[in-house]
Amino acid sequence: MSSALVIENISKSYGPIKALQGVSFSVPEGSVFGILGPNGSGKTTLLATVLDILVADAGSYSWLGGLPPHDARKKIGALLETPNFYHYMSAMDNLAITAAIRQAGSADRERVLKTVGLYERKDSKFQTYSLGMKQRLAIGAALLGNPRILVLDEPTNGLDPNGIAEIRQLVRDLSKQGITIIIASHLLDEVEKVCTHVAILKKGNRLVSGPVNEVLINEDLVEVAAGDMSALQRTLQQMPGVKTVTAADQILQLTVDAVTTQAINDHCFRNGITLSHLTVKKKSLETKFMELTNEPSKN
């Protein structure tokens, strides 16, 4: 699969603060690529750098197999941080400028305004829009001219639950059309629901990147309980395949490696313990994310 974006060793500092430290990864064409990280991890700095808003101290990037950056950006729809429009102009007039710069033709404006649900307010001035409407307009502008890549930085900021669901569906629909979508977010739920690939940043370092189902493996947790919890804990700690045993509120939480619940039940029964509680619980993405981002940085 060819790459929509290749990032190689990008570093960026703001005085003594190292916002990005040799970050490298590539975004496969046609993927929905999530850039995850806590606040201040460098997500927006990275996107601003590859969109030529910030100047990198070191490293390089290439879009769509090495197109000149400004030509590539004409094929990229991007929403970076905040919706940026001329406050005194209407949605239609603002989109006319976007279309002119992208050489997209202004006939597409009504279509994108309908897509993001702003058609009824197309002639209202931008300054009269709510935060959610501004965000929708920014997404609409990004869709002008059928871009090959969409870059969305915190796209659901300011949207109500319906708006969030609509954007999520829009991302899925666009992805089906083969558009590469890069989403920066600290909302794990957002990434988990729509992304095929992910890169996780922390303090300017790339911790990990790759397909979501490889990077964010949702290890299962097994919860057990019995009359004698001490005996149960001793027994399970000796069971082959049980990696960890953690006591929590009258239950034990186990992480296991290729061990079924039936095998756990049998093992306990053979050791004279009858289980009163046995259930499998999915480990939350949040837990996994916290584990990853709480590990010491690689650099």
Partner 1 sequence: MFSLLQIEWLKIKRYRTFWVLTGIFIVFILGWNWLMSAGVLTPGGNAAKMLGMNFTFPDVWFHVGHNTKLFSGLMSILVIILTTNEYQFRTNRQNVIDGWQRTQFFHAQWSIVFVLSLLITLYTLILGLFFGLLNGSPLSAAGTNIQMVGYVFLLCMNYFGLALTLSFLLKRSGMTIVIFLCYGYIAETMITNILRFKFDTRMGDLLPMESAANLLAFHLPDMAKQMMGLQPTSASTLCIASVCWTVVYYIISRIKVLKSDW
Q: What's the min distance (Å) between Cβ of 117 and partner 1?
A: 21
Q: What's the min distance (Å) between Cβ of 77 and partner 1?
A: 9
Q: Exposed (0-12), middle (13-18) or buried (19+): which is 106, by Cβ within 10 Å?
A: middle
| Residues in contact with partner 1 by the rule CB under 8 A | 48, 51-55, 70-71, 73-74, 76, 78, 80, 82, 84-89, 93, 96-98, 100-103, 141
Which residue lies nearer to partner 1 by CB, 151 or 167?
151
Give the dihedral sign, CA 14/16/21/22: positive
Report the C-alpha gap between 134 and 141 in whole angstroms. Answer: 10
Which residue lies nearer to partner 1 by CB, 41 or 45?
45
- Tokens found for residue 81: 């941080």
Q: What's the min distance (Å) between Cβ of 185 and partner 1?
A: 18
- CA 98 centroid distance within chain: 26
Q: What's the min distance (Å) between Cβ of 15 and partner 1?
A: 12
Only one residue has tokens 């996780």, namely: 200
Q: What's the min distance (Å) between Cβ of 127 and partner 1?
A: 10
SS3 state at 99:
helix
- Parallel, antiparallel or unpaired: strands 220-226 and 149-153: unpaired
Which residue lies nearer to partner 1 by CB, 24 or 82?
82
Query: Residues, the chain, total?
Result: 299
Which residue lies nearer to partner 1 by CB, 31 or 98?
98
- CA 5 centroid distance within chain: 16
Which residue lies nearer to partner 1 by CB, 17 or 100?
100
Q: What's the min distance (Å) between Cβ of 75 and partner 1?
A: 8
Q: What's the min distance (Å) between Cβ of 124 and partner 1?
A: 13
Which residue lies nearer to partner 1 by CB, 76 or 245?
76
How far apart, in Å, do the first and last CA atoms of the chain sit? 29
Report the C-alpha gap between 21 and 201 in whole angstroms. Answer: 10
Report the C-alpha gap between 239 and 91 in whole angstroms. Answer: 65
Which residue lies nearer to partner 1 by CB, 56 or 216?
56
Give me the numbers of helices (H) and strands (E) for the chain, helices first please.
11, 13
Whether residue 278 contacts residue 222, with contact meaning beta carbons closer than 8 Å, is answered with: yes
